[in-house]
Amino acid sequence: MCDCLSACVRRLLPEKPNHGDDKPNHGDGNSKVDAGGKRPSVSPPAPPPPGRPDRPSENAIYTGIWPFEARHRDELSFQVGDLLEVMCRNGDWWTARKIEKNGRILGTGIVPHNYLARAESLQMQPWFFGTMSRFEAQNILMEPPNDEASFLVRKSEKESIGYVLSVKSNNAVRHFRIPHKDESFYVEQTQQFSSLGDLVNYYCKHSLNDIVSLGSPCHKKKPNVEDINHLLDDWVLPKSEFTIENQLGNGCFSQVFRGRWKNHINVAIKVLKNDSVDNTEFHREVEILKRLHHRHLISLFAICTESSPYYIITELMEKGSLLQFLRGKEGQNQDAASLIDMATQVADGMSYLEEQKSIHRDLAARNVLVGEDYICKVADFGLARLVKEPFYISEEKKIPYKWSAPEAISHGKFSIKSDVWSFGVLLYEIMTYGSVPYPGFNNREVYNKVKSGYRMEAPSKCPSFIHSIMLKCWQEQPENRPTFKDLRDMLERSSYELESPPGGSREQ
């Protein structure tokens, strides 16, 4: 059996869990799943950018572009410039073997795909940052290491856009679309190039609109790899493997703490209060989290159920809840475009839930988490339900009135369309930097006013098209409300996103 096939088989066949040995090892790597095949891989790596297909054969040679130190016996350490032969690709973590130039094998194991690049590929360029949103690019470029005219080239998250040149200019960030047509790349139609490298080299010497020339490539930060799904044999782990540190939040049903797994990797530990939820409810929440995997949804790592209180282990989002973020100094400094980008991320995650026929039932800024590079992820699926019918009927009385659709309050009818109503309120929270919706009204007053046709007015400095989207979310009849896919597309089409010089191309 060939090495690649052997490695894949080892990673797919169940093996007896071994939680006692987590020492880094440079031998064979075999990330495993449980006997039922329930442990999923993480989200797949982004496809290659259009116009520059990069689809290597199964056994392709890559180069390390960041040093990686193994934290577990299944992982493989390597340094910048090391050659690695990738044998199998499984989500964000690949099986590879480190080789010398003469072909001698130095070790085999699991490696993070975003620490590698193929020789001569765009990923090897110091100015290329891969797939990245406008918001991420803006915040990275505005960090202190980057001077005036620092720049990067990125692949827009929006499939219709393609490449974008983002440049720091006059204490702001400007974004120029780079159309790719007939084997040519350009920002200004009068200047066309056969490659992105040629385009960048030209504008490092010549002006672009009112920017004299491009400066230094944006400072690159080492990618975050605090993911443990590829290292786990089972969903259920002993509490002894986790160390609880400082508290991050406190809710009606749980407390959330920063923690570490085996003193190696940062995680978030959600400790359920003993009387907060019965065993059935707990396992229902876990089953929902296990099924759902998306860039803008929080990832479940494991659970601890050996004794009360139960733990839910998820990825750690360093900046806390979106509500806390908006009310803090960082949030207060965000412009309207950045706020809308955060809303777009939430809509993207909810669009995935919509596709999976799942509902959230408590969508609000307090239940969205913000991580490194301002990535937003929908969290707290404690009230979520997988549904086969359009509506889920609930008799529970714990309803977040100010965020809930009228039919959810009056008849307990929850659906993806009632989540859309909640998203409209979430938009209000975002555009007001975390203000409480329906200020001055109590829960009963809010319900009565909404039933009589009242809708919140546009917040101060809120773009008119955003308030228009809010009103679409607050249509009385659920069927008249947009889908989350529609909402995501509306937000993505916002014309504020990209700037272009004369003769260039502006996103519509």
* Binding-site entries for ATP: 270
Task: Name the 3-class secondary structure at 181.
Answer: strand
**Burial class of residue 168 (count of CB atoms within 10 Å of its CB; 0-12, 13-18, 19+):** buried
Do the beta carbons of residue 156 and residue 49 sit within 8 Å?
no
Which pairing describes strands 128-131 and 151-155: parallel, antiparallel, or unpaired?
parallel
Do the beta carbons of residue 109 and residue 25 sit within 8 Å?
yes
In angstroms, the CA 110 to CA 97 distance is 9
Tokens 């073997």 — which residue?
A: 97
**Burial class of residue 327 (count of CB atoms within 10 Å of its CB; 0-12, 13-18, 19+):** middle
Residues 6+ apart with CB under 8 A from 366: 321, 322, 323, 380
In angstroms, the CA 476 to CA 381 distance is 25
Report DSSP letters for 142-166, one per residue.
Answer: TSTT--TT-EEEEE-SSTTT-EEEE
Strand partners, 236: 303
In angstroms, the CA 37 to CA 53 distance is 32
Nearest of 368, 324, 341, 336 to residue 460 by alpha carbon: 336
Report the binding-site residues: 270
Q: Single out the catalytic residue among 74, 348, 362, 419.
A: 362
Helix 416-431 and helix 464-473: axis angle, to 10°? 150
Nearest of 485, 426, 482, 502 to residue 207 by alpha carbon: 502
Nearest of 111, 69, 121 to residue 86 by alpha carbon: 111
User: Is 28 tagged catalytic?
Assistant: no
DSSP single-letter state for residue 231: G
For CA atoms 14, 19, 21, 25, give the dihedral sign: positive
In angstroms, the CA 113 to CA 96 distance is 10
Strand partners, 338: none
Q: Where are the beta strands (DSSP E) in 215-293?
A: 242-250, 254-261, 265-272
Do the beta carbons of residue 64 and residue 78 sit within 8 Å?
yes
Strand partners, 270: 256, 312
Residues tagged active-site: 362
